[in-house]
Structure 1
């Protein structure tokens, strides 16, 4: 009995030891190596450290990249914007009316033959400038020279007959006094003498007509001008009744411009014209950008066109440089008055926002409430360039009085000499830093202005 209990106890203890050994094996890490070796623990530690190190490196790399981008963006935001600037000017500005006009020749003459005959020569070139009295064409003069000589011969003949007729009339007068011939015979002889005198007068007129026709064989220019394209070549037979002429001469100096004015502007124009004021008229090209010539108002038509409500006006230009040409389309500016000491800016400088018209005024230094060094929330301090003048802009409200395509007259807001931005406003706001450059002066700037208001895009911030 005691032996049986002993065996049972040993069996239970062996089962418990086996179960304990099994649990110990399950609780150990699945790392190969010698059982109970510390190498497994070090391998686990190294793996954990590698994972943690890689994560830290990745985080720091991303942070550095973000910092670089932020620094670049901050530097770009702090970089001055390039702009063009111009000075506010004070000068005399003419006030004018604008119109569309057509250049017309001051005189145009179609040269025609006044006699029939063969065209012998045209001694001028097409496009040649000719003077008044210069020969333009010659018709064959031989038939007309012969007609003149024939008329002159007839005159000599009739003059001889007249001498004989007068002598006969005197003889019959003496015979009538002696009672040898009748009164009727004496009167008949006196009539014959009178007819002879009439023939002489007729012959003289024929001679003058022949001289005129002979003179018509040479065609002279009636005006100073320029010869157009030739219509008939030498050698052709021409007639006085021909519809087309030989050529056309056009007077270009002076030259005229015909334009129209609205009827509501007519009273002011007529008032100044009737007062003896010389109204200056300026001609510009089709784009109204290039000044072509200056002239004066010659006349205004005597009636208004009821269809358009306009009246025609004519201006004359010396045109010494030939800038104006017949049938050329021009923009006309009729100057009515001059505004002295006007404050003028380029139209490109004028902006319009919720506060009305404004300009960007150039200032020297740093914008208000802006430190000398600007620091980003997560970035380093950005130092401004040393020994370099800094500029910024402020939006300045202005009052527009008069405006034209390129110039604006102001009645307040800026003063002569102020620097204003004329190009590059689309990237600006109130207080923006800028890098200014002087704008080039355009031809025609500051010459004229007219009633109106110019608006451009952009708003002050």
Structure 2
């Protein structure tokens, strides 16, 4: 019992000592220390300006360059190559002589046809003299009407013969013109598939060479059918333009829409569009793939950096900053363009919008602007 009493006494004394320590400020006469008020939270953010400016309505796609004119040169007569007058891959102008073919056989046939024509003309002259002679004699009663009629018939036959001779001669001259092969239009020619001495004929499947027109050229690409109506309106107004860029080079050419295919592909919902590019420096080469940008029209709009746009269950919104406070502003996005979002409602332009630090913001959060990162 004495041991229990001692333990209880010690516990009571310990509790009293603790209570005295905790209340020492009061029995010492000292005033309690006041706690500092919590500081309002300030979030550091990056800002950008909403701008109202002209924004193109465009469509990006992959296109293929094709020549407007392309011709495979072939021989129209059976003969041999005498001369080749160009270097492989060279630029040629319309009318340039490219190949000379052996024409000796045709030359001989032309001389023969000219000889036949001269002979028949001489016979016609004799027949016409007979007609005049018999016509004079019939008036004097020195010949019969049969002789006059026969002379006229012979003259008429020779007139027809001469016409046939002239036609044969003209045909041979046309055949001779085929022995000089010239460029039908300006462009760039391929390598020559035949050399001097090769025998060529119209039935050959391999072309002597191929010429492609290089300026202007076509660029064909596909666009979604939803753009078709706007494109047709823009074509009627003459406001369309096409920019074709070679990937990884930055080299590009511009032009306009030349044609829209008359059918939409029902399996893909795409329609083929063909643009015509001036291509004076031969930047675009037939057959290459290019990145195309079809600019349908340009219109005024409010734009903000796309990174400023946030999404929620109720729709898109941005954080605007006014008087150092963040505010939630719902917006409607029409489309994006080169890292910018086009706003159709919610912003009037000139507002400060948050482009970095949105995760720490709520309505009314105090913010302070920090410099934007280089290249942002």
Could you say whether these structures have the same fold, taking a TM-score greater than 0.5 normalized by the shorter chain as the test? Answer: yes
C-alpha distance 362-229 of structure 1, shift in aligned 2 (>3 A): farther
In 2, are the aligned partners of 1:260 and 1:311 still within 8 Å (CA)?
A: yes
Distance 1:290 1:361 in 2: 36
If asked which structure has higher relative contact order (CA below 8 Å, sep 6+), I would say: 2
Three-state SS of the structure 2 residue aligned to 1:253 is: coil
Three-state SS of the structure 1 residue aligned to 2:197 is: coil
Distance 2:197 2:321 in 1: 76
Three-state SS of the structure 2 residue aligned to 1:125 is: coil
State the shift of 1:347 in Å.
4.0
The structure whose Rg is larger is: 1
Matched, 1:281 2:242: yes
In 2, are the aligned partners of 1:87 and 1:417 still within 8 Å (CA)?
A: yes
In 1, are the aligned partners of 2:68 and 2:216 still within 8 Å (CA)?
A: yes
Distance 1:318 1:253 in 2: 6
Matched, 1:240 2:202: yes
Aligned to 1:324: 284
Distance 1:252 1:140 in 2: 31
Aligned to 1:293: 253
Cα deviation code 1:49-85 (max 9, x no counterpart):
xxxxxxxxxxxxxxxxxxxxxxxxxxxxxxxx9x999
Residue in structure 2 matching 1:196, options 142, 145, 158: 158
Distance 1:130 1:269 in 2: 37
Aligned to 2:340: 407
State the shift of 1:164 in Å.
1.4
In 2, are the aligned partners of 1:85 and 1:437 still within 8 Å (CA)?
A: no
Distance 2:330 2:85 in 1: 66
Instruction: Write the mapping of 1:188-267 to structure 2, written as runs, cut at 5 A.
Output: 188-267=150-229
Three-state SS of the structure 2 residue aligned to 1:169 is: helix
C-alpha distance 110-311 of structure 1, shift in aligned 2 (>3 A): same
Cα deviation code 1:155-201 (max 9, x no counterpart):
22221121112112222333333344333333222222222222222
Cα deviation code 1:192-220 (max 9, x no counterpart):
22222222222222222222122221111
Matched, 1:313 2:273: yes
Instruction: Write the mapping of 1:43-442 to structure 2, written as runs, cut at 5 A.
Output: 89-273=51-235, 275-285=236-246, 290=250, 292-340=252-300, 342-347=301-306, 399=331, 400-410=333-343, 412=346, 416=350, 436-439=372-375
State the shift of 1:293 in Å.
2.0
Three-state SS of the structure 2 residue aligned to 1:322 is: coil
State the shift of 1:93 in Å.
1.0
Distance 1:228 1:308 in 2: 36
Distance 2:281 2:352 in 1: 38
State the shift of 1:113 in Å.
1.6
In 2, are the aligned partners of 1:278 and 1:297 still within 8 Å (CA)?
A: no
Distance 2:206 2:357 in 1: 61
State the shift of 1:223 in Å.
1.2
Give the root-mean-square deviation of aligned CA atoms: 3.7
In 2, are the aligned partners of 1:172 and 1:186 still within 8 Å (CA)?
A: yes
Three-state SS of the structure 1 residue aligned to 2:62 is: strand
In 2, are the aligned partners of 1:347 and 1:405 still within 8 Å (CA)?
A: no
TM-score of the superposed pair, with normalisation by structure 1? 0.60
State the shift of 1:322 in Å.
2.2
Cα deviation code 1:335-366 (max 9, x no counterpart):
222122x3434445656578976779999xxx
In 2, are the aligned partners of 1:300 and 1:311 still within 8 Å (CA)?
A: yes
C-alpha distance 436-310 of structure 1, shift in aligned 2 (>3 A): closer
In 1, are the aligned partners of 2:98 and 2:183 still within 8 Å (CA)?
A: yes
Distance 1:284 1:325 in 2: 12
State the shift of 1:291 in Å.
6.6
State the shift of 1:281 in Å.
2.0
Distance 1:235 1:360 in 2: 80
In 2, are the aligned partners of 1:351 and 1:358 still within 8 Å (CA)?
A: yes
Three-state SS of the structure 2 residue aligned to 1:305 is: coil
In 2, are the aligned partners of 1:356 and 1:397 still within 8 Å (CA)?
A: no
In 1, are the aligned partners of 2:321 and 2:327 still within 8 Å (CA)?
A: no
Three-state SS of the structure 2 residue aligned to 1:256 is: strand
Bigger shift: 232-241 or 427-436?
427-436
Distance 1:427 1:266 in 2: 38
